[in-house]
Each structure stands twice: as C-alpha cells, then as structure tokens.
Structure 1
Amino acid sequence: MKLLGTVLLIFLISYIFIKRRDLLTVKFEFKINYLKYLILYLILIFILVLFIDKKVAFFISNKYPTGYFSLHPDLNIEYTKIFKMITHLGEPEYVALLVFPMFLYSKIKSIVKLENASLGIIIVMILGVSISTILKIIFMRSRPFLEWNSSGFYFIEDILEREIPFKGSYMSFPSGHTMVAFCSYSFLAFKSQKTSIKVLCFLVAILVGVSRICLSAHWMSDVFTSAVIGTVLGGIYANKR
C-alpha cells in the first residue's frame, strides 16, 4: 500500500508541476495584528514544554517504563496496534491514496472544483512537510523515548558540539505526521460545505496527533505546533483558492 501511495504521490506532484502550476501561486499579506496570535502561541508552547509535555507523555505513552500502559502489557499491545494504524493517516503516501480517487473522479466527470481541491491537498501538504523538515533541522529535539527526563532541544549549534547525528531520533519538533494531517484535512474541511465532513476531517487530524504522543514519537508541544501551523496553512490556501 505504501509503495502504491508513493507512486500516486509522485504522479500527483508531477501533474501539478506539468499541468497545474497555476495552483502554486497564493498571495498572503501579513498583518500587524497577527503578532498577538504569534505571542499567544509562544506563551502556550513555553507552558507546554516546561510544565505539561512530560506529564502527558508519562501518562499516555506506550513506552514510559512506569506508565499505565507499560504496567499493563496486554492492553499496551492492542493500544499500540490501534494508534499505529491511525498514525498512517498522517503519512504523505497514505494521503495520496485518499486523494487520488477524488482526482480521478474529477477528471472523469470534468469537475474543476474537485480537481482543484484534490490537488490543493497535495500542495498544502508538501508545503507543510517542507516547513516541518526545516524546523526539525533547526531545533533537533530528541524524541520522548530517547530522553524522558529532558526537554531535548539541541538546536543546530549544539549539534556540532555534541556530535548529535542527523537522524529521526533527534527530529521531534514539530511532528511531521501531525503537520501532514492538519495541512491536508483542515484544507479539505475549509473547502467543504458540509459540517459533518468538517468535523470528520478535524477529528482524523486530531487522532493522528494523539497517536504520535501515544506511540512515544512526539511531545505534546510538537503536536500542538504542527496542528497550529497545519491549520493555518490549510485555512490560508483554502481561502485563497
């Protein structure tokens, strides 16, 4: 399934650059009153990192040594299986598997709006992945399973001093899966006229974020950051298109 998703993702991206480059242009104006939201976000992140991240991870993580699920192995096995399935919904390849039928139907029925929406999901998702990757490189935060007793931020300068390798274990902030989920599903939610679809889209995105914490892959602040950025990106692109 993942291989098929990768092939479809490559096809959709290629189609965008060959046939629909017009969808890549979006105008955005930064307004001074946006600063208050940025300040509020920074305050919330500060609170999460210092006071909440560890408590949440210790409580619901599947790997914390003395946590509830570690003390109940049988329950932990089922719990982990469920969230491993959910977390796939935040992977680009699986998003492509969901988007391609929409795109194919739009071409068969010549529905331009549906085509724009399906390709828009891919565009905003790739933008989110790019931003997430850049932030991961800058902050180089260790994942919960690696350092339970540390907030784990190393930043680029520390990487050179500590000789921390560039690898997944030190790329926790922000959550890439959550970024993909919120970029993709929030965009679809903003474009949809049906409340039920809006609710479903945000519910799926939230579950993906929760799954990343439950699987010990991310701290709550990693997920929160991706949820905020992903929703903003999805909203901006949906409103400009």
Structure 2
Amino acid sequence: MQKLTATTRRLYSFLIPYILLLILVLIAKILYSKEDIYFFINGLHFPAGDVFFPFMTEFGSSFSAVVACLLLLFVSYRSSVLMATSLILTTAINVPLKNLFFAPRPRVYFAGSQHPIYYVPHVEVLANNFSFPSGHTVCAFTMALVLTYITPRKTFGYLYLLLALLVAYSRMYMSQHFLEDVTAGSILATVVTIIWLSWFDNRPFLSDPRWNASLSRKKNAA
C-alpha cells in the first residue's frame, strides 16, 4: 500500500485533473444517453479538426508506442522497460475485453439510423464489434502515465494528460468510438499502469544502477 501511495503521489499532476474530468464525464452519462452524446460530438466538426484529429489519433497507435519505447532507450533503460512493460500489460488486458464485450462501433451501431452522421473525409471508419474499450485511448493514457512517472518535472503531467485526452477525443471525433469506450480505456490504463508501476519499479533487480544508463551515456553505466 505504501508503494502504491508513493506512485500516486508522483502522478498527482496527471491524476487530480483526470479524476475531476472523469467525474464530469460520469455526470454527463447520467444526464444524457449514449446517442445524445455521440450526435453532440458528431456535430462539432470543423475543417481544421478534420485535419488535426486524424493526425492526433496516431499518438495512440502501436507505432507511436514502439517509437516511445525506443526513444526512451536514450533516456534510460529503466524508463524504456517501464514504458514497454506497461504498454504490453494494458494491451494484453484490453484485447480480451474487446472480444468479451464485442461492442459495435458507431458505424455498425447506427447502421439503420436515419439521423445524418458526419464522417471525416479520407478517414477509414471502422465497422466491427471491437469498440469497447478503446485501444488507442488505452495506449495514449498508458504512455502519458509512464511519462509523468519518469519525468522529474511533474508539471509536465498536465501536458501528457492533455495529449492523451486529445487522442481519446479524436477517436470520438472520427466516429471510431463512443464516449463509453474511451472512458473505459482511460480508466483501464490508469488503474493497471499505476498498480504495475507500484509493483514492478520496486523489484530488486531494477535497483542495479546500470538500468539508469542509456544509449546516449553508456560510459556512465559503471
């Protein structure tokens, strides 16, 4: 419990605004239906957003996850291992959940609807039953949490949270997911990553100072 508390303290800049926002989302879910929220967001499209959000959504992709792990090798091997293992774990949990819930994506859910739906031009809108939880959101929130955890300047956590939220919103903006999907993805990533970091980063073998070396400063490993 002490290790878990210590980890959450290192993530305060991320967790405090996230929890406040999560409360607002839950209130919105009580007041409005799934369909109401979807069509509200679907009505907020604008030309710059049609360019920005397809770009932003890639920050939650598998490619971005791999790049993040590789770049962190130049920061420290410990940081890269923490990022890689966290991403592997949250993904390993999320994929079976997608198959378990088998929830339709918006394009399938509204297949027979007469309500006009706006789709971002030149974006492939997925039409399957793997909507819940959102994988891009899981990936983005996992990366944001690990970055907050390893970054000495904790105020950067606000920036990492903002980037993760933009990825989550992009999934709704592009009609790939519902609010429920991205909310569940963010919760899954947050809870699992915190527990994992609390346990894994305190393993005895990681206390070896060589883990603090990196590809950019090998000579300091000794």
Q: TM-score range by the shorter chain?
A: 0.5 to 0.7
For the 8 Å contact 2:107–2:127, the answer to whether it is kept is no
Structure with more contact order per residue of length (Cα contacts < 8 Å, sep ≥ 6):
2
Q: Supply the distance in 1 between the matched residues of 2:30 and 2:183 (Cα, whole angstroms).
A: 11
2:85 to 120, 123, 133: 123
Q: Supply the distance in 2 between the matched residues of 1:183 and 1:238 (Cα, whole angstroms).
A: 11
Question: Shift of residue 55 of structure 1?
Answer: 1.9
Question: Shift of residue 212 of structure 1?
Answer: 0.6
Deviations 1:185-207 (A, max 9, x none): 11221233312321121111111
1:54 to 35, 50, 54: 35
1:219 to 159, 163, 178: 178
Bigger mean CA deviation after superposition, 223-232 or 192-201: 192-201
What secondary structure sits across from 2:107 in the alignment? coil
Specify the alignment match of 1:153 in structure 2: none
Question: Shift of residue 238 of structure 1?
Answer: 2.3
Structure 2 vs 1, CA of residues 234 and 138 (structure 1 numbering), >3 Å: closer, same or farther?
Answer: same
Specify the alignment match of 1:78 in structure 2: 48
| CA RMSD after TM alignment | 2.8
The one-letter amino acid paired with 2:167 is V
Alignment of 1:1-241 (within 5 A): 48=29, 51-61=32-42, 67-69=43-45, 75=46, 77-103=47-73, 105-106=74-75, 114-148=76-110, 169-240=128-199, 241=201
Divergent runs of 4+, >3 A: 44-52
Q: Supply the distance in 1 between the matched residues of 2:56 and 2:44 (Cα, whole angstroms).
A: 21
Q: TM-score, normalised by structure 2?
A: 0.66
Question: Shift of residue 227 of structure 1?
Answer: 0.5
Aligned residues: 166
In structure 1, stretches of 5+ residues that fail to align are 1-26, 29-40, 62-66, 70-74, 107-113, 151-166
Q: Supply the distance in 1 between the matched residues of 2:27 and 2:132 (Cα, whole angstroms).
A: 13
Residue identity over aligned pairs, in percent, reads: 25
Deviations 1:162-191 (A, max 9, x none): xxxxx9611000000001111121122123
In structure 2, stretches of 5+ residues that fail to align are 5-21, 113-125, 202-222
Question: Shift of residue 127 of structure 1?
Answer: 1.2
The one-letter amino acid paired with 1:93 is F
For the 8 Å contact 1:140–1:170, the answer to whether it is kept is yes
Question: Shift of residue 45 of structure 1?
Answer: 7.2
